[in-house]
Structure 1
Amino acid sequence: MIPFIKTIVFFILAGLCEIGGGYLVWLWLKEEKSIWYGIIGAIILTLYGYVMTLQTASFGKAYVVYGGIFIVMALLWAWKIDNFKPDKYDLIGTAIIIVGIAIILFIPRK
């Protein structure tokens, strides 16, 4: 069970770094916040690259799975931080993505 938890924690941490860092850069460039938002955002985005290397899966598989996790986390971020209201189709799509992630990551291969 520990490897499963470790994998999920690293994916969530990577998502927070990518979305959070990107959000800070967005605030700097699009909403004219201080350059420090951009600098901190860039540092966090660099940290995202490091966190992804902590995965035990191969590069390709880790990024395929992370793509799905990123979509789920981005929807949650938009809902909680950006006041986006997901509708039933957003939720159905997210459920399909979660099933896809589970199949790719956890179904045993021969």
Structure 2
Amino acid sequence: MLKTTLLFFATALCEIIGCFLPWLWLKRGATPLLLMPAALALALFVWLLTLHPAASGRVYAAYGGVYVCTALIWLRVVDGVKLSLYDWLGAVVAMCGMLIIVAGWGRA
């Protein structure tokens, strides 16, 4: 379970970086050279999703919970936005959903 969760966090980080870098270019006037590491991050994101042993739909559903939590951590660390109680509660609920789905892998 821990290995799967950590793999999901790495996957989410790649997805967020892959989307954040083009956002910097389009919204903040950063260099278009950011598109190269963005493409690499998104390719890594896709590859990481294939490392899970479950059916793709289950992987995507479980991954969604970790993505929510990772995005909120990104919001706090990178964007400097203080998280509310509702943010934290939503992250806990999303992570519980992920854990329930992953616990059922192999039982379906």
Same fold (TM over 0.5): yes
* C-alpha deviation, 1:5, in angstroms: 3.2
**Number of residue equivalences:** 107
Q: Name the counterpart of 2:88.
A: 91
Confirm or deny: 8 A CA contact 1:25 1:41 kept in the other structure. yes
Using the size of structure 2 for normalisation, the TM-score is 0.90
Q: Could you list the runs of 5+ residues in structure 1 that have no partner in the other structure?
A: none
- Partner Cα separation in structure 1 for residue 31 and residue 100 of structure 2: 43
* 8 Å contact kept, 1:25–1:42: no
| Residues 11-65 of structure 1: per-residue CA shift (max 9 Å, x gap) | 1111110011111111111111111112211221111111110111110000000
Work out which of the residue numbers 37, 41, 47 in structure 1 matches 2:34: 37
Q: Which runs of 4+ in 1 moved over 6 A?
A: none
**How large is the RMSD of aligned CA atoms in angstroms?**
1.5
TM-score, normalised via structure 1 length: 0.88
Higher RCO (Cα < 8 Å, 6 or more apart): 2
Gaps of 5+ in 2: none
Which amino acid in the other structure matches residue 55 of structure 1? H
